[in-house]
């Protein structure tokens, strides 16, 4: 069954936890604290919006094509300004924002170069443009070997949905082609001190089940999920997807 809006919100908030240390590092460099206007492109259910409002006196804007997601974002941050629309054509004049960012967005858009170019257009010269997280499933690591098929399942699912599973490795080139200056890119590190919680595991397998789309049987999925749970409990499980970030200036 497709994920509900509440489950997608849970997923977006989970993804936000993965990049929390990176945001703590990058926000001061981009001058968030002193910004007057900040834009979150593809804000979804608003996973980052309350944080942006809390860490800055700026007017925070959020945009997404999904009106249901926007409704949830509005409830989280009533002081924000939200709009529906396409990331390729932002409804703002040039040089409007001191900081423009996105989070797990560019792999989903039709033209990531044009999207970043548009983010640059609405950002004031010399101010920050952030792509906080773009995964690259070509470098996904699953261990033990029995779980290697999950890489193919999710890579193929992303392609069926129109996403680019290898976007991460292209991020620096995308920022350069969009005309950004002083580009810095990197890959998020991975550190694990304990297994995912039962709720986190259940959410992950809800996503995997939807992504599988009938390409393998329900029985095989159930068997893999049980083995996955056991492998985490025994501290035998490794799962890592390289996730790239980029910071540039308009």
**Total domains in the fold of the chain:** 1
pLDDT, residue 194, reads: 75
Distances (CA, A) of 194 to 16, 39, 152, 197, 235: 18, 35, 26, 9, 8
The 123-135 sheet, strands edge to edge: 81-84, 59-64, 37-41, 97-102, 123-135, 243-249, 181-187
For residue 213, name the pLDDT band (cuts at 50, 70, 90): confident
pLDDT higher than 70, residue 38 = yes
92-122 pLDDT, tens per residue?
999 999 999 999 999 999 999 999 999 999 9
Give the domain CATH number at 116.
3.40.50.150
pLDDT higher than 80, residue 190 = no
Q: What are the two backbone dihedrals, phi and then psi, of residue 80, each rounded to the nearest 5 degrees?
A: -75, 165
pLDDT, residue 3, reads: 82
pLDDT, residue 191, reads: 67
112-163 pLDDT, tens per residue?
999 999 999 999 999 999 999 999 999 999 999 999 999 999 999 899 989 9
Average pLDDT over residues 168-195: 90
216-239 pLDDT, tens per residue?
888 988 999 999 999 999 999 999
pLDDT higher than 80, residue 214 = no
CA dihedral 249, 247, 107, 71 (to 10 degrees): -80
For residue 1, name the pLDDT band (cuts at 50, 70, 90): low
State percent of the chain over pLDDT 90: 78
Average pLDDT over residues 47-59: 94
Cβ contact 126:250 at 8 Å: yes
Among 117-121, 122-126, 168-172, 191-195, name the one with the lowest average pLDDT. Answer: 191-195
13-35 pLDDT, tens per residue?
999 999 999 999 999 989 999 99
Please tell me which of 49-58, 116-125, 187-196 the model is most confident about, judged by mean pLDDT: 116-125
Among 3-7, 144-148, 180-184, 208-212, name the one with the lowest average pLDDT. Answer: 208-212
Cβ contact 38:58 at 8 Å: yes
For residue 193, name the pLDDT band (cuts at 50, 70, 90): low
Domain range for 29 is: 5-249
The bridge status of strand 181-187 relative to strand 59-64 is unpaired
């Amino acid at each position: 069954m497709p994920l509900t809006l509440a489950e997608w919100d849970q997923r977006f908030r989970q993804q936000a936890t993965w990049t929390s240390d990176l945001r703590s590092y990058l926000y001061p460099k981009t001058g968030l604290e002193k910004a007057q206007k900040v834009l979150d492109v593809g804000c979804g259910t608003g996973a980052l919006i309350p944080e942006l409002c809390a860490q800055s006196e700026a007017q925070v804007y959020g945009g997404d094509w999904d009106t249901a997601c926007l409704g949830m974002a509005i409830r989280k941050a009533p002081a924000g300004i939200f709009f529906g629309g396409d990331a390729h054509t932002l409804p703002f004049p040039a040089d409007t924002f001191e900081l423009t960012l996105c989070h797990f967005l560019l792999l989903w858009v039709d033209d990531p170069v044009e999207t970043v170019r548009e983010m640059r257009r609405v950002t004031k010269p010399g101010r920050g443009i952030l792509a906080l997280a773009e995964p690259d499933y070509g470098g996904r690591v699953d261990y033990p070997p029995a779980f290697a098929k999950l890489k193919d399942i999710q890579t193929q699912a992303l392609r069926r949905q129109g996403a680019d599973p290898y976007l991460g490795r292209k991020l620096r080139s995308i920022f350069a082609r969009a005309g950004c200056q002083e580009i810095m890119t990197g890959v998020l590190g991975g550190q694990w001190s304990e297994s995912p919680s039962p709720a986190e595991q259940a959410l992950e397998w809800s996503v995997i089940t939807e992504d599988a789309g009938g390409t393998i049987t329900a029985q095989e999925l159930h068997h893999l999920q049980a083995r996955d749970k056991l492998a985490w409990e025994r501290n035998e499980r490794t799962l890592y997807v390289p996730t790239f970030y980029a910071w540039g200036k308009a």
